[in-house]
Structure 1
Amino acid sequence: MISLYSLAHLRDLPAATWDALVPAGQPFLRHAFLTAMEDSGSVVPATGWAAEHLILERDGQVRAVLPAYRKWHSFGEYVFDHGWADACERAGIAYYPKLLGAVPFSPVSGPRLLTEDPADGLLLLQALPEYLGKGGLSGAHINFTDSALDQSIAGLPGWMERLGCQFHWRNQGYRDFQDFLDILSSRKRKQMRKEREQVLGQGIEFQWYRGDELSQAQWDFVYLCYANTYAVRRRTPYLTRAFFSLLAERMPEAIRVVVARQAGRDVAMALSLVGSDSLYGRYWGCLAEFDRLHFETCFYQGMDFAIAQGLQRFDAGAQGEHKLIRGFEPVITRSWHYLLHPGLRRAVEDFLGQEREGVRAYAEEARGMLPYRRG
């Protein structure tokens, strides 16, 4: 017997049951990470995120899950559909609530449909349209998918593919940072070396920590830096202070924090998570402005760490031409969208067809701006 239901709180499902379906090396999908989002008050109905994790059971056993949220806005997703929502408002079509399959506030590609048997995952996807209609949802959006889900969902009617472009750094087996610099053009090599020297010249030093090596006072500092990146834009932080303590308590081994210090005073930090072969830069912030400190803390320190640890990839977050000129290569990302309203679906499908061409052209053009020596 097969059944599909949703959970309003992930803690209602045992961690062992959920994590048994999570591929190794995927920190953002772990029960610990997602429940820290919920239990900290960061992802709750009051902030426009209501957990609605879809669970497919076969003969009483959980066989497939989709981390998902009922949403009343489009913030914190990094796949921007505000224009679609605005068009719906003008046309008198209800766009919210919608169902979002994603990791909150984390534009990191990876598995979204968790299952040991692709056939069970396909059953969950096929049941989604009826689920949306019964639940008063305008559609489903699954962001930053992996190739396995791309292949499964591409053959289903009604789903529309959207492309994006990020910039990731690849470790080509470098012995050290100088080994990386040696394959760059002379001008770019000098520029990066000068940027690092400028930071050192200001008397700034760096210290790396695991999640369980930071005191609560240090976590206060981490949060203050993180919140300051929103304060300077007059915005409210997505994450609460409690999230950072819960994350450190539940999965400290996956957390890495680098702290920038000047004259014995902590002035900036960058928080990352570690997967099986990748470093994921997530949150950064500073309490005072220093020349080139952002590039050193968020990029060069992470590259150093990835080289030292033998990690193959460094994903430093969304956006960026400023990453491109420092050796981060363009990477195509994908999301998938299912809209119940036929007129909206046709309009979005036309738009996405044109947008895909533009994204591919942009990624190809960006590749020509990489700092590596040619020939």
Structure 2
Amino acid sequence: MAASYCCCSSTINLSTPFLGVRRRRRLMNLASDRCFRPMKVPPKVIALLWGPKRTAEQRKDNPSLGTFPLTGPPSENLSSAGVRPLEVCVSVLSSISKVPSKDWDACAMDATGPEKLNPFLTHAFLSSLEESNCAVKETGWLPQHVIAQDQFSNVLGVVPLYLKSHSYGEFVFDHSWADAYYRYGFQYYPKLQCCIPFTPVTGERILVRDCWFKDQVFSILVQAIKKLTEKYQLSSLHVTFPSESEWHKMNDFGFLQRIGMQYHWKNRNYNNFDEFLMDMKQSKRKNIRQERKKISIQNLKMKRLRGDEIKAKHWDSFYQFYRNTTDNKWGRAFLTKDFFHIIGAKMGDHVLLIVAEEEGVLVAGALNIIGGDTLYGRLWGCLPRAYYPNLHFEACYYQAIEAAIELKLKKVEAGAQGDHKVQRGYLPVTTYSCHYIVDEDFRRAIQDFLVHERDQVKQVMKLLNDSGPFKVGLD
């Protein structure tokens, strides 16, 4: 869940020349998150339009981003009509509903492969966010999905893209960058965001069909979203939680590279939970067993529900749990009750809801999504004013591990934040993001900051891995 921040009160003279080393140093300091502190109240403003207004080209529905030629041997891979594709037409769509689900999902499947299916990239998940009014213009998430088609209208690639008027729900924090722009009289918002809304899960972002010219389509799409940034006269374009391979590729297109950290559990071909425990140091193994015993002592019953086993009453209860979590942590409830009902209907057995019952009454739950080789832990909550020691660890971590072992999945992604995850078997892994900053001076300043930040993240990850809970010698 994203934290809320406010600017510190220091002032900058806007007449300072935009030249020289002094400016870069000041911009670099502003790019640091030290310029921000947590707010004590939840934000009530959804759209933050800082800085002076600038004249921008009138945005039209479904604008074209141009037609690009394809190059290659004319004898290769003819279309169904017996003619080789010669060009790629790229345009912007204001809703994912304008793309047939079979075409979008074909791009997503080809981008990842069926064995590594990422369910958050599917038409079902992304359309659920729009249909439930979570990722829409009114919440500061205006869909601007990009689609590439050949001259026969065959869909060759798609990009989940949003025009954003704030930085909430992204999990790669750039609030201080917006503050730096504001202090120099520039407008940071709106910006373009290529991501899965409210979902810090790594996966492909440029979704391209598996064809002989896929590298060309990838390049065309990346250049197209950069062109859209300039067409709309925006400050920046951000690609968050891309795959590592995409992260490297985008460096060649002028994107700044940033890394972060999450906690994942790795399945070493375990047959059961006890086998996993035997790989841990004795003290950690003992602690986990003690924590799990406390669940039965509290007369709690854990259940793992999938597909049709999840009823409307479960989603109603889980929404109450979710709102309790967001309210207590001063976060904004990005997701609506309708969203949970819709993904339950659309995504079927990909949804795993772990619930805790006390005397037949639901008291807590954890939402997970099942992918091709990964269990994705997403949201957690319990009844208001309820306290059950260690229930959070049981529902979110230990039940997820048991489910992954049972489903023969390779890993569990438990998300960011929380060093306590390390002692429960979830180790730090690197996450990635790419940032295209239009203004050259700001780009250089942020690049300097990212170099120092990257060194710090790597150092923290090393310290956490060195003090990990597993026996020496495990990979």
Q: TM-score, normalised by structure 2?
A: 0.77
Q: 1:283 aligns with which of 354, 360, 379?
A: 379
1:125 aligns with 2:211: no
1:274 aligns with 2:370: yes
1:105 aligns with 2:201: no
1:29 aligns with 2:121: yes
1:51 aligns with 2:143: yes
CA distance in 1, matches of 2:224, 2:95: 21
Unaligned regions of 5+ residues in structure 1, if any? Answer: none
Question: Which structure has the larger Rg?
Answer: 2
| CA deviation string 1:127-172 (max 9, x = no partner) | 333221111321110011113312321222x210000011100010
Q: Which position in structure 2 is the counterpart of 1:329? A: 427
Q: Map 1:211-222 to 2 at 5 A.
A: 211-222=307-318
**1:122–1:152 contact (8 Å) kept in structure 2:** no
**1:66–1:112 contact (8 Å) kept in structure 2:** yes
CA distance in 2, matches of 1:110, 1:272: 16
Report SS of the residue matched to 2:424. coil
| CA deviation string 1:178-213 (max 9, x = no partner) | 111111111111111111011221111111111322
CA distance in 2, matches of 1:233, 1:355: 26
CA distance in 2, matches of 1:231, 1:35: 26
Report SS of the residue matched to 1:166. strand
**2:368–2:376 contact (8 Å) kept in structure 1:** yes
1:37 maps to amino acid: L
| CA deviation string 1:277-301 (max 9, x = no partner) | 1100111100111101100010000
Q: Which position in structure 2 is the counterpart of 1:320? A: 418
CA distance in 1, matches of 2:225, 2:306: 40
Deviation at 1:250, TM superposition (A): 1.0
Deviation at 1:56, TM superposition (A): 1.9
Q: Which position in structure 2 is the counterpart of 1:307? A: 405
**Comparing 88-97 and 213-222, the one that deviates more:** 213-222
CA distance in 2, matches of 1:127, 1:223: 38
**Runs of 4+ in structure 1 displaced over 6 angstroms?**
none
CA distance in 2, matches of 1:306, 1:228: 27
Report SS of the residue matched to 1:296. helix
Deviation at 1:228, TM superposition (A): 0.9
1:296 aligns with 2:394: yes
**1:49–1:70 contact (8 Å) kept in structure 2:** yes
**Comparing 30-39 and 338-347, the one that deviates more:** 338-347
Q: Map 1:225-374 to 2 at 5 A.
A: 225-287=321-383, 288-374=386-472
**1:100–1:141 contact (8 Å) kept in structure 2:** yes
Q: Which position in structure 1 is the counterpart of 2:69? A: none
Deviation at 1:262, TM superposition (A): 1.3
| CA deviation string 1:277-328 (max 9, x = no partner) | 1100111100111101100010000001111111110001222211111111
**2:262–2:414 contact (8 Å) kept in structure 1:** no
CA distance in 1, matches of 2:179, 2:317: 38
Deviation at 1:365, TM superposition (A): 1.1
CA distance in 2, matches of 1:235, 1:358: 27
Q: Map 1:184-203 to 2 at 5 A.
A: 184-203=280-299
